[in-house]
Structure 1
């Protein structure tokens, strides 16, 4: 399928199958060296390699030759130097929550698991920033920050690692107010493909000193280096938090209300679309009883008076667009239940079909084009033979479709791929992007040149300059030359 086309860097072996190809003597010697160096933190067990070479999504797994659990930046640098000397690929691994095949070992190699690099190194409440190791998860960080009256708002749903979130330029439900990882990463510690360790910036909130290397590595998906430490912006926990769900007779009404909220500049923290198919799936999966209509979920942050003003303005806009049945989640428990149900949307859709895998695609378009694109997507889904639902962070024009697929059914996979292609091409044609937050991985490579044109060649030049032997997470982002 075109969605899984991958590039083969010069000097690397051909892509491996799930069993792996014959290893060279040098490759075997490297594995022996690493086993002696890392002991029980080195593994070639099939079960562990399967865990690190696949995902919960539909992409065909491809296993690494070994997995190493690193614990320090120096260890990561040592691993990379050894792999570089032998021309062996390196695939960074965080929490394993990515959806576009970022972790698939298309050319074998070493999966470097950073999950044990989970220390919160520094928090500065006065400066509203912190530095953490890459394996720290967002929930772990927010639990630590809670007693300081602070939080980190980027919430992609899954309990992803901070390093992985930086690598994929993640965002999520709070992006409409707080932005994405691009806006919230101040600096990085990165191990380059030759094993050299660099810092990409400092803690100042702005700088005019040289190239913006931080933004170069945020979103690079491990193809330019391995992120081992991240310095993040933090925010004060809002004095008042309130959430509400409202329903509409049509998805166009819901999107119209969302667009009006954005255009009026109302600073809602979250504004999520759930179509009625998703509401039905969420009700069944999470034991809720939400009305089976197209719905918007809002969350408001701020001082009591400010939150009340936001609520009144949004209610008026919703009613003008045909919205009704406001249901308030006034307690922390009610809000947690509502947002957990929304975050479990992927599993809710997949659970509608026995032994299914999830295919989750996302696009992002200018807000003015959102209604037309979602309407077009709904029309595409009318003839879809598998369970599917639309959801999205409509406040910033980002929406998703989740399909429950059988990866062994070639005809079915081709049909879903055709829907995905039409949805993506419509988004790109109106000035949007093939992915708003999932990243490229192997799943969206086919659309890179369509979206970026000759700029892809500049990306390839940067990749070759930093990683001339192509060992860093090969087969991701860049299309076949």
Structure 2
């Protein structure tokens, strides 16, 4: 019997072999290459995942877990024959326990759908990578976003996981408690593993109280280096900043054209404070402003209404698409380095100077409160190699400063070559763990290690 016919019999009405879906599931949003999977499987429960993995073991066809397809580093591209395991049908909120500040969800649920389900509880789930990604995919890539500086990324907000191994065995990892010291922390091994160690089938997530008082600012500077220096000064005080984002003049120009935003076209910090009292909020905001003015701030705008606040952060999340709109017909290299906070101004200065040195146009923006920023470099397809050379030099500089090649986007295919530099002999132990948990190399092979 043909392999795909056998797969369809094993999982009736849950297998799609149409060319359009096979191509859609063989690429992501940021990697220049594209592939095509043999088929797309839509499991509706743990047993379906186990059946798909049994098929993989019997046929040697790889399995690539798929959420919303919003990853950026080539993690979804097939390396050899593979099926895509699209978990979007496993999208239920299984349990909300407001008294324990947690929710139990399936991996195909998106972050926006979870927060919609939490309305009326006084709680929210804070991790916001911009795209409306699935929570399973966010855990698999250890996603973060604008609120990470206050609330942490996925690793800080996942209490427990259910994971299916390549063998079909189901593991329950972690507990629905704030802390535990019981044994090795296998849960965190799977967070950020990009589907190479197991398939996440359930998540227990930490929830947070909605802030009672919110103050949102836009602070403009003469240059990105001054903005980076201001962000470091604010973080060095220990102020409880909820969001601290850098956008350069190119980002704001693109947003003005794309959204009609009306922002001054100068480098800016988008800043937000969350507090339980109005008095604390005012004191924290005033101190932060004085520090930013010392670093060279030129102008301050406050979001006066809830609608204006939402528009400001929606604009930040749309920065990539605004740049795509500004440079039609271009490909984009999106860098993702992070350095210790004290080295951030130096790293930003290097990134900007390197763009000028290499004759490239680029947009610097990112989560500078975490020491993490992105450079979006648009180039014509024939010049993509030049953008790759830029990204490589940027990574080497970040590692030289004690940083990392990727703070949130993950490794995928693009950044594998940097792991020996970043991890040294520890990389061999990562490979041993991969071989132990997936001896046939069936789970998203060729990625990460």
TM range (shorter): over 0.9
User: What's 2:405 paired with?
Assistant: 434
Q: How does 1:124-203 map to 2 (within 5 A)?
A: 124-203=97-176
Question: What CA distance in whole angstroms lies between the structure 1 residues aligned with 2:360 and 2:370?
Answer: 28
Select the residue among 7, 30, 34 that pairs with 2:3: 30
Q: CA deviation at 1:367?
A: 0.4
Question: What CA distance in whole angstroms lies between the structure 2 residues aligned with 1:463 and 1:32?
Answer: 30
Question: What CA distance in whole angstroms lies between the structure 2 residues aligned with 1:40 and 1:87?
Answer: 22
Check 1:32–1:51 CA distance in 2 against 1; reply closer, same or farther (3 A cut): same
User: What's 2:13 paired with?
Assistant: 40
- Given the alignment of the two structures, is residue 376 of structure 1 paired with residue 350 of structure 2, yes or no? yes
SS at match of 2:407: coil
Q: CA deviation at 1:384?
A: 4.9
Check 1:55–1:386 CA distance in 2 against 1; reply closer, same or farther (3 A cut): farther
- Given the alignment of the two structures, is residue 356 of structure 1 paired with residue 330 of structure 2, yes or no? yes
User: What's 1:405 paired with?
Assistant: 379
Give the conservation status (yes or no) of the 8 Å contact 1:87–1:471.
yes
Question: What CA distance in whole angstroms lies between the structure 2 residues aligned with 1:427 and 1:319?
Answer: 28
Give the conservation status (yes or no) of the 8 Å contact 2:355–2:361.
no
Check 1:67–1:406 CA distance in 2 against 1; reply closer, same or farther (3 A cut): farther
Question: What CA distance in whole angstroms lies between the structure 2 residues aligned with 1:148 and 1:219?
Answer: 29
Question: What CA distance in whole angstroms lies between the structure 1 residues aligned with 2:291 and 2:280?
Answer: 17
Select the residue among 414, 424, 433 that pairs with 1:443: 414
What number of residue pairs does the alignment pair up? Answer: 448
Select the residue among 413, 423, 428 that pairs with 1:457: 428
Give the conservation status (yes or no) of the 8 Å contact 1:285–1:351.
yes
Question: What CA distance in whole angstroms lies between the structure 2 residues aligned with 1:357 and 1:146?
Answer: 39
- Given the alignment of the two structures, is residue 229 of structure 1 paired with residue 202 of structure 2, yes or no? yes
Give the unaligned 5+ runs of structure 2.
Answer: none
Q: CA deviation at 1:426?
A: 0.4
Q: Which consecutive segments of 4 or more residues in structure 1 shift more than 6 A?
A: none
Give the unaligned 5+ runs of structure 1.
Answer: 1-27
SS at match of 1:249: coil
Q: How does 1:23-422 map to 2 (within 5 A)?
A: 29-303=2-276, 304-384=278-358, 387-407=361-381, 409=382, 412-422=383-393
Question: What CA distance in whole angstroms lies between the structure 1 residues aligned with 2:186 and 2:83?
Answer: 25
Question: What CA distance in whole angstroms lies between the structure 1 residues aligned with 2:58 and 2:15?
Answer: 19
User: What's 1:25 paired with?
Assistant: none
TM-score (norm 1): 0.91
Of structures 1 and 2, the one scoring higher in RCO (CA 8 A, sep 6+) is: 1
Q: CA deviation at 1:232?
A: 0.7
SS at match of 1:186: strand
User: What's 1:423 paired with?
Assistant: 394
Q: CA deviation at 1:405?
A: 3.3
Q: CA deviation at 1:355?
A: 2.5
Q: CA deviation at 1:387?
A: 4.2
TM-score (norm 2): 0.97
Give the conservation status (yes or no) of the 8 Å contact 2:333–2:388.
no
Alpha-carbon RMSD: 1.2
